[in-house]
Amino acid sequence: MKISGKIASFFNFLFGDSARAFGALSVALVALLAVVPAADFFRDWRGYQKRYLRLVRGRGDATSLTRRFQPGLQQIWMPELGVVDRCPTCHSALKEASLVDVKDQPFRPHPPIPHSVTGFGCVMCHRGQGAATTVEEAHRSTKSWEDPILPARYLESSCGQCHMERLTGTPLLNQGRQTLARYGCVRCHVIKSPDGVAMTGTDDPPSLAHIGAKTTREWIAAWLKNPQAYASSATMPNFQLPDDDIRDLSAFLIAQSTPYLASREAAPRVPTDDRALKNGASVFGESFCSSCHAIQNAAGMLVGGNLGPELTRIGSKAKPEWLADWLRDPRVYDPDTQMPHYRLDAQQRGLLMAFLGNKTDPDFLGNRHFDPPTSVQIDHGRALVNERGCTACHEINGVKKADNFAPELTLVGSRPLAKILFAPGVAHTLPDYIAAKIRQPRSFSTSLKMPQYTLAPEQVEALVTALLAQTERAQKMPTALRVPPRRASDYHAAGQAGRLMEELRCFSCHTINGRGGDMAPDLTWEGTAVTRPWLVNFLKNPNTLRPALIRRMPKFNLTDAEADTLADYIMTVYQTPAFDRDSIDSSRFTPADAEHGKELFYGKYACQSCHIVDPDKDKGYIGPTLTQTGARLNAAWIFHWLKSAESLRPGTLEPVWKMSDEDARAVSAFLVAQKIAPRTEPAKK
Amino acid sequence: MNRTWWAWVIPMMASVGACARHPATPLEPKPKAFGAEVVLVSGDKQVAGVGAQLDQPVVVQVNDRKGAAVAGAPVRFAAAGGVAFQPDRGLTGSDGQFTTNVSLGGMAGPYQIVAVTTDSSGKRAEVRIEEIAEGYQERLGQQLNAIHCIRCHDPESTPERVSNHDNLSAQAHAFTEGAVLNAISDANLTAIISHGGAALNKSPEMPPYGNRLTKSEIDALVAYIRAVSDPPYRPQGVFYATN
């Protein structure tokens, strides 16, 4: 009662007569009009701009800093990129490199990057809401804005929106893309680059068409149970199958397996004594199997390359008759294998079989033994193959390849949070969701089909980085900004030599004309570089050129005719158009040239830091040994190499010397004089 | 009018506010013992990308006055600038050590983290540990270092890379040797990388990279060398704007 009475009398006081009412309304209107400028006056960014001016006032270059400072709302606007970034309103010092010692945001200058901040804007790389002018709205996600600032650890993903090619400065992104291709992710998930090309796998999942000839059902079961128990480096994930499913899957795979065209040659005699094991290890070493295959040593460390499968427990897997055929010619079992056809003789194969057959692990197979499979088991196995998408990676007789088995991830980096079901305990951000999904896919739902991978934390971080690059923005980017990947070429050498090169799988390690691996030197212009006698000898008996490298050229045991065919082709076809191989006549070098070259070699250019010419004195072993350069290389190649090695072989470690013609000529004369007659092998027929 | 509704609303609002704003703070474990000092065991001077977790965990140990390890002593980690610890506090294990995983903040540069223990009277003892976060430039420099420099400038060998350090007559300086490298100005460092050691009357065993690397790549290498320098590099003089 009292309160309503007071309100009534107050109302009378304000609006009792028309003059009072006019006055009161005028005051109210003025107050109302004052709200807008007042609210504007107290905006976040005005405070930051005042603080910035106070900050620069005491500095040495205060005058120029103050002059460059622009008050009011600042905006980077690029309609063609869809960028409206008002970040410089508060981040006033973005381009002021002299403020490098300032530690407080928003006043730090942007660290140096290859792009201009005003040329690309901020949200392109950092995400967030560019048009917002308050701290909260710009950086964090709200109900109407789901794209908060990208955590700094995943920043490299933003480079990947335009750059499809490997960049030196983005190791995490490179590793992530490599992992997507190597761990089979792209065999189930379609991931397209903005140019519409889907990523392809670089792993080589074996065909299971003849699996029964290669291994036993017991091994398949143990492998399916836990692939990493067989080989810690295995890329096959764990499908976490119950024992009954494993039993039925192995039954189906064995039942579907057909025999391959096995050789009719008798398997070599396999010696079993201790000396055979030792000699087998020597053959394994001499053939440089470990360039591609790793074996765990006594200390549990993996020693060897990862191009082929790990062989630590190969004796528990491979059937001896299969291994005999494989070592004789791997293409008989798998026409597409990357493994070269070594021309090993029966004795060498026998020793290798003894060595590899001894690499067993009884704990891995356990005491499992299966009765012959029933038709119920086989049918269930077939259903499981279809259900689990085994054929997305592996070829299996009688089952169609599973295409698009898993959701497409081309736009996963822009997936709206509203469409994501988060598992309990996962922070509600896109990077955390993707990381959790990779780490433990089944934690989201036990019915999910995605298998469990064994990945290091760094690998998960790399994968998240690569996937966050798959944004809608990347798809809409103007074509001119895209840096497309170098697409692999499908170069094939022609004729008999071409067939031989395929048989020896030269392209597994060497790149020629854009096709091939990166384990060994690029051979695109090898014919200009080397001399024919040296090449023939090297093909038959590869000696060590680079002592610091672990991976070496294997000895293929070529016949004279085969070495000649290869050498003829390389010498004729693989020639650089830049200069003529015979343009410098080394016979016109004088001993004085060579003497001067020696001074330059050891003095001005200090080549001995990396190369050995005199094995008794020189110690550097980063580059190839130069003791037989005169027999190995052509003078013109050496001359041009000393001028600009990188233009002859991109990616070489040799610095670009840009030597003067006189210096290059003198050093060439010195190197051409280095000749040690190569050891000759008795001819093999 | 009944005024008792205030008595309901205030505690309700207070409790709603408390629930919404303050997540339950983790319970501080009750110390079983106390030490006199905390020392670093391993994990300092690591280099990682901004915001990334360090490869190796940081391990500290609490000792008593005689230097013997104390089990069950309280340890707490703290740092400025968005550094995260997993976990950030706890008790030392039976070996007197406490291990935590550290994620650095989002800004490039050195980070100082502090490990604190208290004795029975509540007196603090601490150890300061330095870690380094790389921005884009330092990261690029690190990658270039791994391609071009490390074989001679890193005396340590790995299974994949044999060090060439000891094969040189002039010993190449490891990039962490701040005592030597901090005295060389940015301009001179750039000149040595671009034109080789001979250009500055140093050993010609350092080849010129000016024709192999771009200007920005050499800048990145210098930034990396400055970032990993020990003692830390402190730029001298006045700064002037460059753009």
> A493-685 architecture in CATH?
Orthogonal Bundle (1.10)
pLDDT, tens only, A566-621: 999 999 999 999 999 999 988 889 999 999 999 999 999 999 999 999 888 888 88
Question: Mean of the pLDDT values across residues B29-55?
Answer: 89
Separation between Cα atoms, residue A495 and residue B164, nearest integer Å: 43
A100·B52 Cβ contact <8 A:
no
Residues 54-73 of A with CB under 8 A from B: 60-61, 64-65, 68
Separation between Cα atoms, residue B72 and residue A237, nearest integer Å: 40
Look at domain A211-379 and name its CATH class.
mainly alpha
Confidence of residue A327 (pLDDT cuts 50, 70, 90): very high
How much of chain A, in percent, has pLDDT values that exceed 90?
Answer: 57
Residues 618-657 of A with CB under 8 A from B: 619-622, 644, 646, 653, 655-657
Question: Mean of the pLDDT values across residues A465-475?
Answer: 94
One of 1.10.150.120, 2.30.40.10, 1.20.1300.10, 1.10.760.10 is the CATH number of B136-228, namely 1.10.760.10
Q: The tokens of A405 are what? A: 């088995």
Separation between Cα atoms, residue A579 and residue A122, nearest integer Å: 47
Beta bridge partners of residue A511, listed in sequence order: A516
Residues 334-373 of A with CB under 8 A from B: none
How far is the alpha carbon of A620 from chain B, nearest alpha carbon, in Å?
5
B51·A65 Cβ contact <8 A:
no
Residues 205-224 of B with CB under 8 A from A: 205, 207-209, 211-212, 216-217, 219-220, 223
Quick one: pLDDT at residue A417?
86
Quick one: pLDDT at residue A559?
93
Quick one: pLDDT at residue B15?
53
Q: The tokens of A556 are what? A: 């293929």
Of A64, A103, A151, the CB nearest to B241: A64
Of A3, A550, A610, the CB nearest to B160: A550
SS3 A540: helix
Task: Map out the domains of chain A as residue ranges.
Answer: 2-41, 44-149, 171-192+408-481, 211-379, 493-685
Radius of gyration of chain B (CA): 25
Chain A interface disruption, residue of B157, B161, B164, most A CBs within 10 A: B164
Of A98, A112, A171, the CB nearest to B137: A112
B241·A622 Cβ contact <8 A:
no
Q: Chain B partners of A605 at a C-beta cutoff of 8 Å?
A: 204, 207
Confidence of residue A14 (pLDDT cuts 50, 70, 90): confident
Task: Map out the domains of chain B as residue ranges.
Answer: 37-134, 136-228
How far is the alpha carbon of B164 from chain A, nearest alpha carbon, in Å?
6
Quick one: pLDDT at residue A167?
92
Q: Chain A partners of B240 at a C-beta cutoff of 8 Å?
A: 60-61, 98
Separation between Cα atoms, residue A625 and residue A618, nearest integer Å: 10
Quick one: pLDDT at residue A661?
94
Concatenate the DSSP letters of all residues of A1-60 into one string: -HHHHHHHHHHHHHHSSHHHHHHHHHHHHHHHHHHHHHHHHT-HHHHHHHHHHHHHHTST
CB A583 within 8 A of CB A636: yes
CB A609 within 8 A of CB B205: yes
User: B177 — phi, psi (to 5°)?
Assistant: -75, 75
Q: State pTM to two decimals.
A: 0.88
Residues 134-193 of B with CB under 8 A from A: 135-137, 139-140, 143-144, 147-148, 151-152, 159-162, 164, 166-168
A211-379 against A493-685: fold identical:
yes
pLDDT, tens only, B67-84: 899 999 999 999 988 899
pLDDT, tens only, A95-126: 888 888 888 888 989 988 889 888 888 999 99
For chain A, the average pLDDT equals 89
Q: The tokens of A665 are what? A: 């000529």
Look at domain B37-134 and name its CATH class.
mainly beta
CB B103 within 8 A of CB B81: no
pLDDT at A679 over 60: no
Burial class (CB in 10 A: 0-12, 13-18, 19+), A474: buried
* Amino acid occupying residue A278: K
Of A98, A100, A111, the CB nearest to B136: A111
Question: Mean of the pLDDT values across residues A226-241?
Answer: 92
